[in-house]
Structure 1
Amino acid sequence: MTTDTVAQHHPRMHFHKLAPEVSKAMFALEKASREGLDPVLIELVKIRASQLNHCAFCLDMHVKDARKAGETEERIYLLSAWEEAEGFYTEKERAAIALTEAITVLTDGFVPDEVYERAARHFPEQELAQLIAMIVTINAWNRLGVTTRLVPGSYQP
C-alpha cells in the first residue's frame, strides 16, 4: 500500500451520528457482553477478530486497550500466529482464540464441535455465553468499522 493510498482513506459516513439509536444499542451490547470476562482476554479476542476482519480502526483501538490492560507487546504481535506461539497463551486463552476464529470465519461453514467443546472445557457455561456474545459484538463492530471506513490512529484509551 502506498502513502497515497493511505492518505485517501477517509470515513465514508459518520455512522454514530446517522444511526444514533443503533449506536446506543451497540454500546449497550458491548457493555453487556463484557460482564464477567477478564479484560486481557477481551482484548485478545477483539484483536484476533479484528485481524481476521481487516479492521484497522479496531486493531488500533484494541491493541492500545490491551497495552493499557497490561498485555505485553510480545503476546500482542504473536497473536496472529497464536497456534505456533504455544507457550505464550494459556490453554483457556487458546480455546477462546480458536472459538473467536471459528465464529468470525463462518464462511468455512460452521463452528466445529471440537472448537466449541474445547472452549466449553475452559469456560463455565455462563462465561462461555459471555465470550460468545463478546465475539459476536466485536464482529459487528468490525463490520461497521470496515464498511464505514473508520480511520485508525486517533483512538486514545
Structure 2
Amino acid sequence: MTRQQHGNDGAEARRPRVDFAQAVPKAFKALIGFDAAACEGLDPALVELVQIRSSQLNKCAYCLHMHTSDARKAGESEERLHMVAVWEEAAHFFTVKERAALALTEAVTLVAQGGVPDEVYERAARHFEEAELARLLALICTINTWNRIALSTGKVPGTDER
C-alpha cells in the first residue's frame, strides 16, 4: 500500500515516539553490549550481510540504510549488496559459508513461519564452529531486536546518529 492508501499523504506531522536510548539507557546499553559480543570474531562482511538480510525481511528501512552504508564503507561491492535480497538465486555472489548464514538468518528472522528447520541449522553448523555459530545466532537475534525497536519507535532512515 502507498502512503495515500494508508490515509497519510506525508503532509501531516508524525507524532514523536519514545526515544528508546534516552528512555531506557540501561536496556539500550545492554543491547549494544550484546550486539558487540555477538559480532566478536565474526567476519565483518558476514555481519553486515546478516544485518542487511534480516532488515530486508523485517522491512526496517532505518536499519537497512544503516547497514548497507556500513557495508559500503567497509568495502562491500554494490553488486553483492543488490543481490542480498535474492541470494538463493544469485548464489555465485556469496560463499558457501555466507549462504549458510543467510539461510539461518531467514529461518530465525521468520521463526514464527515454520521454526528453524534441521537442515538449515545443520548446514550452518557444518560451516561454523560451535562458538562462532552461537555468535551468529546472537547476531541474528540482536538485529531482529534492533529492527523491532527502530520500527516501533518510528526511526527515520538516513538519520543514524552513531
TM-score tier, shorter chain, comes to over 0.9
TM-score by length of 2: 0.90
Pick from 108, 112, 117 the counterpart of residue 122 of structure 2: 117
TM-score by length of 1: 0.93
Structure 1: which 4+ aligned runs deviate by more than 3 Å?
Answer: 1-11
SS at match of 1:154: coil
Q: Is 1:58 aligned with 2:59?
A: no
Letter in 1 for 2:65: D
Partner Cα distance (1:6, 1:72) in 2: 36
* Residue 105 of structure 2: aligned partner: 100
Letter in 1 for 2:94: Y
Partner Cα distance (2:27, 2:49) in 1: 25
Provide the aligned C-alpha RMSD in A: 1.8
Query: Are the aligned partners of 1:57 and 1:151 in contact in 2 as well (CA < 8 Å)?
Result: yes
Q: How many Å apart are 1:15 and its aligned residue?
A: 1.0
**Residue correspondence of structure 1 range 77-88 to structure 2 within 5 A:** 77-88=82-93
Deviation per CA, 1:8-32, whole angstroms, max 9, x where unpaired? 5675221111111110111111111
Q: Is 1:70 aligned with 2:75?
A: yes
Q: How many Å apart are 1:154 and its aligned residue?
A: 2.1
Partner Cα distance (1:41, 1:2) in 2: 34
Aligned residue pairs total 157
Letter in 2 for 1:130: R
Q: Is 1:47 aligned with 2:57?
A: no
* Residue 38 of structure 1: aligned partner: 43
> Which entry has the higher C-alpha Rg, 1 or 2?
2
* Residue 34 of structure 2: aligned partner: 29
Letter in 1 for 2:40: E
Q: How many Å apart are 1:6 and its aligned residue?
A: 8.8
Query: Are the aligned partners of 1:55 and 1:146 in contact in 2 as well (CA < 8 Å)?
Result: yes
Partner Cα distance (2:64, 2:90) in 1: 20
Query: Are the aligned partners of 1:64 and 1:156 in contact in 2 as well (CA < 8 Å)?
Result: no
Q: How many Å apart are 1:5 and its aligned residue?
A: 3.5
**Residue correspondence of structure 1 range 118-157 to structure 2 within 5 A:** 118-155=123-160
Letter in 1 for 2:84: L
Q: 1:10/1:77 Cα in 2 relative to 1: closer, same or farther (>3 Å)?
A: farther
SS at match of 2:27: helix
Partner Cα distance (2:86, 2:125) in 1: 22
Partner Cα distance (2:150, 2:133) in 1: 26
Q: 1:21/1:113 Cα in 2 relative to 1: closer, same or farther (>3 Å)?
A: same
Normalized per residue, which structure has more helix? 1
Q: How many Å apart are 1:155 and its aligned residue?
A: 2.5
Query: Are the aligned partners of 1:34 and 1:42 in contact in 2 as well (CA < 8 Å)?
Result: yes
